[in-house]
Structure 1
């Protein structure tokens, strides 16, 4: 996650105050000094940091906090609420025009991922909102931009309107809008040109497209990895175009994350979406409260549930539960579950959504290597049908054959078989606990139920 360094520092700072029975103004002052350093180090705008610290301090030293039964937790609650407010307070949804189509103008500099984000947004609108989008290839300057959008459109089975690179973007937009009305599209996403930097020619062209299309949304795509520069770019575009929303790309990268914490406060424009990977479905609505919780180590269970609902087959999950209860779990089931978990996203990101995961024993320094899953998958696929059904028959010669067939070592094969056996034992214990407590209120439940 983009905020990994910031999250670690903030959680470490807040943990010092969390369990205190009594908190003084001096404690709060010391904590806020460390929070200030953490935010500045994360490349958050210094004016934003100053205002944030002032707001938190004013609330945290109030009598209702310092004299409460759990002052440490109350201070953390204040930090969480102010962090949420800093990023926009509540989710800002994409506009819906009273009379279709809803016109969305996509803007941004080259390299921010604008064209890819246009396709991701079209895919999101179709899958999550059952819309019928039309993408418009109006970037006639960047080599292969039109081809890239057409390729993505073909991959997603979403139509792309293009007229080549010899027609003006304004003319392309005009014809695209006519086409959208004719074919009853309810969203039109215009992929406009970008530049390496903000210049007058770019802004004049965007002004002309805006004047013609009268867009319901002007979404600015900015690269979260550029830190404070992303905020400066957003400010420039906002002053000229009056942007209505921001899409932060590469928020899954190893970056300091200052852009996400600064951009709303500096521009007054909400972050509407976040790009969380390269796949066409790796675009998520931006929830300030959920992001604040993740930064503070409180997890993000709602997003985790939504990912599970989207990617996990309910019927298969129920069948898996039955097999776990009767101790019939096989390597085929294991492989199926592995595929479903992989489709939810990187494992370290999923673990980060679990409340308190960072404080769990052994979790803090865990490095989840998604490539390791490829090895696991190869090992299981190198087994015969009989071996997958009954791992007990896998003797030493079979293990050597499986290792050779999967391009792994015998040690890796041994380790997986042992882990699978231990997992089955653990699941048997868990289902036993559930059977004993299932009728009681608050009884133990399986993790995926």
Structure 2
């Protein structure tokens, strides 16, 4: 059994070591050697604080806590310093070791190198910095000038704009440019979840609150900590959910399902919508008190058709981004494309342009994107099929592609897809039936549009 245990310890990617009651290292696996850069022979017998030189050793030692309380510690974040003097971010878990008489004989610690995760976080934060929001349009420049003040403030922000205008990019940029940049950014699509799931996602629950609640779970208001909570499609939530959300924003406290105890909320809230919430208030479909609570700072993001001067900048930026992602040299575009792209209405806004660029890179074998890579809805009539039947067919294929893309991005939820396409759900059903778009079976329903 001991040989099997040693083989397992040597095969795993987490560092593992054990200490006796005098904090001398008694076991040190291969991954521990690789992460610390210290050979096993050199580590054995030494005080663990001498080997790890961790940020936790003095005031928050997880191993000391386990050995004092007899309870395990799971996933505590910290840093160690390796043999080269580099700080390595780690996630630490600990447990006590007991002898045959049940007495504590030492402790064991596993630690995971989190360097890759930290680098990805840094890349994500830098990707969404305000410097990456490029524009020449006066409307966007006004938003950029407002950005530093908004980012440094704790006030609730309402981002309003059509689907695909980049509301989440703005939200992440506000987060990244402010004092909360090192804290979590958590986004929730309020329109994609039914009330019961949205309630537990936002507010959390306690064990036994409902069937299947086998453990406590924090909602995103708590998980976001002192960071930013981004509530997308806020205009889609039900009246009952509006009441609960208003209470949380007013009291800065949340009550998980299954308990009467509330927890303080520290996260900054950014909301987004593609609807006219003021009109919804006038029509009685959105609470006025919630509207004024979230509308402290409102930023209206213009659609792409109203800032066509930005298309060359966006085209260049998106080409660089997706060429890098696909491992290709940066491509250029035929100047003849610009009049067509500028003259197009862009119902899907920047997201549609990004999809076009990604598609064009895939379809282009050379280093220049030309007219042949454009979808038929953007091509001039002279470049499309000459007969009216063929032209209608091309338009229907383009519409079918847009509908299928919306269905796919919403897990084939037709109501959610209709919201993304900004059409009534009955209009979507009718067009699906006309275009012969099939659906996978869901809850026993027919796979054909009805």
Query: TM-score, normalized by length of structure 1?
Result: 0.24
Greater RCO, CA 8 A, separation 6+: 1
Structure in which a larger fraction of residues adopt strand = 2
**Bigger Rg, which one:** 2
